[in-house]
Every structure is written in C-alpha cells, then in structure tokens.
C-alpha cells in the first residue's frame, strides 16, 4: 500500500504550491507527471558537483559524468526487465523513439504495399511517423477497431495481420485508459513474422513492465510521464534488431569513424545517440526510477486500480446520465485515465470551471484525433491520476463539475 500523504510530501509542487490560497489538484499526469524533490535535487547536485561531457574527454570528471549518464540506462533497463542496458537508447521523448523506429527500421524494411497495422486508439506519435512513411513510399496502414466499451476489437485480428510487416500499438490508451493484451498482440505479430512495436508511454509509469515477458521487439516511452524530467525518452529494442538497423540521426557520438568518403557507425546504443545527449536529464531519470522502485510498481498499480474504481463509481453515482465516461469499466483492463463528456458542456468550458478550484485536467483531442472520430466526439475532458493522487482529488473533481452546472444554468 502506498501512503499518499507521505508520497505527496515528496513533490514540492503538490505539497507547497498554492493558487488562490488553495492547493493544486493535479489530474493531468497522463500529459506529464509532477517531479519529486529527489529528482530535482539529483539534477541540481549533478550540475553542481559532477557536470562534464560524456564519452569524449579523458579527465576524471568526464568519467564520473559518463558513469552517471550510463547509470540512467541501467536504471531504465532494470525497471522494464531488459536483458541488457545497452539495449536502452536515449532519445528526446517517446515521439522521437517512435520516429526512430519508423525511419530507421521502416525505411530499411518497408516498401510500397507493405502493411503496418495500428489501432484506432493510438496517440499521434504512433500514427504520424507511419503516415509519413505511407506518403514517402506508399505503405498501407490498417487499423484495429474498438469495441463499444473501448477495448480493442480483436475479432478480425488475423485478417488485419495477414501479410503485415509491423504491428505497432499502445500498451495503454492515453484517452480511454484501456490496457490491451500486450503479450497476446506481440505473439500474434510474431506468428505472421511482423515486428511488434509497443508504445508504452502510458504503461511504464503505472505498471510493472517486463519487456521480455511481452516478447516485444521495440518499446518506446518517456521520462517526463514517470516522475523524471522532460527532454529524455527511451527506446528499448532487442539487440539483434537494433544492431541490424541503420542509424536515425547523424553526427557526433554515433560514429565509429568518419573520412572524406563516408562514415561507419558506433555500436548500439551510441549508434542512435547523435550529438550531446540529455546528460542531466539521465541523472534525474535515474532518481525517478529509484523512486518508483522504492514505492514498488506493483503497489503503484494497485493504488491506481483502487482509485480508478473509486473515480468511476463516484462520477457515475453523482452524475448518472449527465456524464459519459469513455473506456472499459473493468479496472483490470484499464488504467487511471478518465475521458468524459459532461452534460452538453464543451470540454474547454468544463476545464475552465474546474480550474477555478485548481483542478487541473486536459480538454481537447489528446493527440488522438482519429480516436475522437471513432468515439464520435470532437474532444473530451480528461482527468488522469498517478501515484500522488487520492480520493480527495476525485472528490474535488466531482465538486468542480457540480460548479459547472451552476454557471451554465443547466
């Protein structure tokens, strides 16, 4: 069990920041998470004591900085049960990791008519890079549809996967909270010889992640959604795949040698890390992973399951037909993300009114416009919880919605 009071004390913004003399009710962690003190301190301390370039200079300080940066790789590998830290590539964010996959692997292995299968609940980050390939070389994109309760409709999976080269899907929807059967999907992809690419951006921060149990091929996620800093994301991949892939971006650090005639690449992971990487961010990320390990990801998931149940029940009981919450009701297959329609109110107006009581939610399409079309809406209001939220936060959300009714005279 998590002690939320104790957890919240670790987050300066949640513990100390006030707006209009009241605390902030942060329900937008699906967007980006708040940062614990130890992450902030680790980055500051590193810059004050150990900051230097990595992998380029031979003085002792540079060695210490390199070790610190590589420590981030080891921490991430532990968190997702990767066989080797060298399989973890640091990028700018999850979007860049997915672009890396589409550009480096896709450009090498896909040509006109080849099929990439996505789901209707993907984030734009796992759609647009593939659409760029479709524009560039005419690959075909097929879509796994949704059931009425917002789960993947796998009834025609075999048909969709027939002849596919890639299955790329989210391990948790950032709009519906849905947790698809990741392991099953990876094995279905492999059964037809397709690559299994997992967008684990929403999954890793909230669940025990085991990329080996999934038997995924490539997995993308972001530090900033899991208590770490912005500016650093991750791509994990099976070594033999990464080895065979050409580089994505070119420049310093990613080469073995460069001549007037051309270049050869450094081994993985450096091959995919052109230029000066996010060194300070890797140090912050290490502290974030240690924080998550201390809490225990199983405990985090358990806490969020209970809170998700509470949220679904509270909102449905208090608002009945006035609220439509999208996604599955079964918390075994959903995480703590609640996208909803409230009366006839536009999400902008809902979030505006909630902001009056410092309840921070997101209103819009959540970078999933195709999914909005499937749901038959233009946008939704979305509340999303994390390890520092509790029932009082959900109550504040519900109270705020009550206020919206008054203002719009509904």
Partner 1 sequence: MSGLEDLYREIILDHYRTPRNRGELDTPPATKVDGHNPLCGDEISVYLMVEDAENGDDAIVTDIKIGGQGCSISQSSASMMTNAVIGKRVGDVRAVSRKFKSLMGIENVDLQAGDDEVDLEDLEALQGVVKFPVRIKCAVLGWNTLSSALDEALDPAE
Is 120:176 a contact under the CB 8 Å cutoff?
A: no
Size of the site for ligand PLP (CB under 6 A): 15
Q: Does 271 bind ligand PLP (CB under 6 A)?
A: no
Distance of CA 27 to the CA centre of its chain: 16
Residue 160 to residues 48, 156, 165, 314, Cα–Cα distance (Å): 54, 6, 11, 38
Q: Smallest gap, in angstroms, from Cβ of residue 17 to ligand PLP? A: 23
Which 3 state secondary structure label does DSSP give 214? helix
Q: Does 174 bind ligand PLP (CB under 6 A)?
A: yes
Q: CA nearest 62: which of 50, 72, 70?
A: 50
Reported as type and span, the H/E element at residue 364 is: strand 362-364
Active site residue 201: no
Using the rule CB under 8 A, give the single segment among 37-45, 87-95, 290-298, 352-360 that binds partner 1: 352-360
What span, in angstroms and rounded, lies between the C-alpha atoms of 387 and 369?
A: 28
Residue for token digits 């994109």? 141
- C-beta of 163 vs 364, nearer to partner 1: 364
Among 364, 395, 398, 399, interactor with partner 1 by CB under 8 A: 364
Q: Does 158 bind partner 1 (CB under 8 A)?
A: no
- C-beta of 230 vs 352, nearer to ligand PLP: 230
What span, in angstroms and rounded, lies between the C-alpha atoms of 402 and 395?
A: 11
Q: Smallest gap, in angstroms, from Cβ of residue 322 to ligand PLP? A: 27
Q: Smallest gap, in angstroms, from Cβ of residue 49 to ligand PLP? A: 29
Q: How far apart are the first and last CA of the chain?
A: 40
Which 3 state secondary structure label does DSSP give 332? helix
What span, in angstroms and rounded, lies between the C-alpha atoms of 221 and 285?
A: 12
Q: Does 349 bind partner 1 (CB under 8 A)?
A: yes
Q: Does 22 bind partner 1 (CB under 8 A)?
A: no
The full DSSP string for 315-329 is: HHHHHGGGEEE-S-S
Query: x/- string (CB under 6 A) for ligand PLP, residues 343-372?
Result: ------------------------x-----
Q: Does 37 bind partner 1 (CB under 8 A)?
A: no
Size of the site for partner 1 (CB under 8 A): 18
Q: Smallest gap, in angstroms, from Cβ of residue 369 to partner 1? A: 6
Pick one of partner 1, ligand PLP, none as the site partner of residue 389 (Cβ within 5 to 8 A by kind).
none
Is 223:97 a contact under the CB 8 Å cutoff?
A: no
Q: Which residues bind ligand PLP (CB under 6 A)?
A: 93-95, 123, 125-126, 170, 174, 199, 201-202, 222, 224, 233, 367
Q: Which residues bind partner 1 (CB under 8 A)?
A: 346-349, 352-353, 356, 363-365, 369, 372, 378-379, 403, 407-409
Catalogue the active-site residues. Answer: 367
């Amino acid at each position: 069990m998590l002690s939320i009071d104790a957890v919240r004390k670790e987050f300066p913004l949640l513990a100390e920041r006030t707006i209009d003399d009241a605390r902030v009710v942060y329900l937008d962690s699906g967007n980006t998470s708040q940062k614990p003190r130890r992450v902030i301190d680790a980055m500051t301390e590193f810059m004050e004591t150990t900051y230097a370039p990595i992998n380029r200079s031979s003085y002792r300080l540079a060695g210490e900085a390199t070790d610190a940066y590589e420590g981030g790789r080891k921490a991430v590998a532990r968190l997702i049960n990767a066989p080797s830290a060298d399989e973890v590539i640091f990028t700018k964010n999850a979007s860049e990791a997915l672009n890396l996959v589409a550009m480096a692997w896709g450009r090498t292995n896909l040509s006109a008519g080849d099929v990439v299968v996505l789901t209707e609940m993907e984030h734009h980050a796992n759609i647009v890079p593939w659409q760029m390939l479709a524009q560039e070389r005419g690959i075909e994109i097929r879509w796994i549809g949704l059931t009425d309760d917002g789960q993947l409709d796998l009834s025609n999976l075999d048909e969709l996967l027939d002849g596919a080269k890639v299955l790329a899907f989210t391990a948790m929807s950032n709009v519906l909270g849905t947790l698809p059967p990741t392991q099953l999907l990876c094995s279905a992809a492999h059964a037809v010889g397709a690559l299994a690419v997992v967008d684990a951006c929403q999954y890793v921060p909230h669940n025990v992640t085991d990329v080996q149990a999934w038997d995924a091929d490539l997995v993308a996620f972001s530090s900033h959604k899991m208590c770490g800093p912005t500016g650093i994301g991750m791509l994990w991949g099976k070594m033999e795949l990464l080895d065979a892939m050409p580089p994505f971006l070119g420049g310093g650090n990613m080469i073995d040698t460069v001549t007037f005639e051309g270049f050869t690449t450094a081994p993985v992971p450096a091959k995919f890390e052109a230029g000066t990487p996010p060194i300070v961010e890797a140090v912050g990320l290490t502290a974030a992973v240690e924080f998550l390990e201390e809490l225990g990801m199983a405990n985090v998931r358990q806490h969020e399951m209970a809170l998700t149940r509470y949220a679904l029940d509270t909102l449905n009981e208090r608002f009945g037909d006035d609220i439509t919450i999208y996604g599955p009701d079964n918390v075994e297959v959903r995480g703590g993300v609640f996208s909803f329609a409230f009366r006839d109110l536009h999400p902008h107006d809902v979030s505006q009114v909630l902001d009056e009581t410092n309840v921070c939610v997101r209103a819009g399409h959540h970078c999933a416009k195709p999914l909005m079309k499937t749901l038959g809406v233009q946008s939704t209001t979305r509340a999303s919880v994390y390890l520092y939220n509790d029932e009082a936060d959900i109550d504040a959300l519900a109270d705020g919605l009550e206020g919206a009714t008054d203002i719009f005279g509904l």
